[in-house]
Amino acid sequence: MDTAQGTTAGLWLAVVASGLYHGVNPGMGWPLAVSAGLMGRGRRDLVAALAPLAAGHLLAMLAILLPFTVMLSLIDWQREIRIGAALLVIAFGVFRLLSRRHPRALARIPPTRLALWSFAVALAHGAALMLLPIYLGLCAADDLDAGHRASATLIAGNAGTAVLVALAHTAAMVVAGGAMALAAHAWLGLGFIARSWVDLDLVWATSLILVGAVTLATA
């Protein structure tokens, strides 16, 4: 495996790993799936609740990634775009580190509107921003020999990468979150959620800063 292939494989692994990380994090919604199962028809409602959670998360990823798809058509500015994205992620991580309060708007979204809630939470917590540097790295790896291809071709190719990144990340998130929800529903119970709830805000903010710093160093 050459260096380019190794870099690409590593970035895709990061996409999946960040999805697993988001899925295990209770802040991304798997306790709501447990609640749906306990108050409804058991595992059937639990699994059904995962679909809108996944849809909202996927839309949040695409809402951040797709605008950068158009920007990446400016080949001569790709380094500056990656630096700007890295600084944006670092700044949001610092903001999350200093401001630990959750946006009040999230409390106004009823849990029954799972897709909207998942979309808003993923944006508010910077889940999509965490994925942005990885996506930009994949596009850079894909376009090393692109030269000055037509902008339309670049946009189409990078849009496809954005969709694949968002789908792979969301699939990993749902697998991890679904596993946590099924375990809590079948064996561990709500007491486990209350006892094991870990405030991941510090870890989350640090992860954003770390991802942004790595991107800035490699841009």
Domain boundaries, the chain: 3-218
Q: 32 burial class (0-12, 13-18, 19+ CB within 10 angstroms)?
A: buried
CA–CA dist 59, 191 (Å, integer): 32
| Per-residue pLDDT tens digits for 72-121 | 666 556 677 778 778 888 888 888 777 766 656 565 666 667 888 888 88
pTM for the full predicted model: 0.73
Q: How far is CA 114 from CA 44, 102, 120, in A?
A: 16, 17, 10
Residue 55 confidence (pLDDT): 92
CA–CA dist 214, 219 (Å, integer): 9
Poorest-pLDDT segment among 11-20, 48-57, 61-70, 144-153:
144-153
Total Cβ atoms within 10 A of residue 47: 16
Q: Of the candidates 64, 216, 201, 60, which has an alpha carbon nearest to the alpha carbon of residue 137? A: 216
